[in-house]
Amino acid sequence: MPKTAPINMRVEPAQQALLTKAAAILHKDRSAFILDVACREAENVLLDQRLFQLNDEEYEAFESALSAPLAENAKLKSLIKETSPWEK
């Protein structure tokens, strides 16, 4: 997929030098390094969200889903019975 959305920023010279040095250690260009680190941190922020708000109807549906019995899953039961790779 072609990259078409620009992201521009101004940084202090010391910050630029730090980013350039870290990118070089990983054999990446500075832009790729910054993008990788920023995306990883963005994913962590989104995954770490623990607070969400629901109206009454949504809350009831959420509670019902949590309280509902689990469907029978033969594949999962089989997987649980297997010896873990680190125990072999």
Q: What is the pTM of this model?
A: 0.56
Average pLDDT over residues 18-23: 97
Average pLDDT over residues 13-19: 97
| Residue 24 confidence (pLDDT) | 98
Q: Which two tokens stand for residue 18?
A: 């730090």
Distance CA 56, CA 4 (A): 42
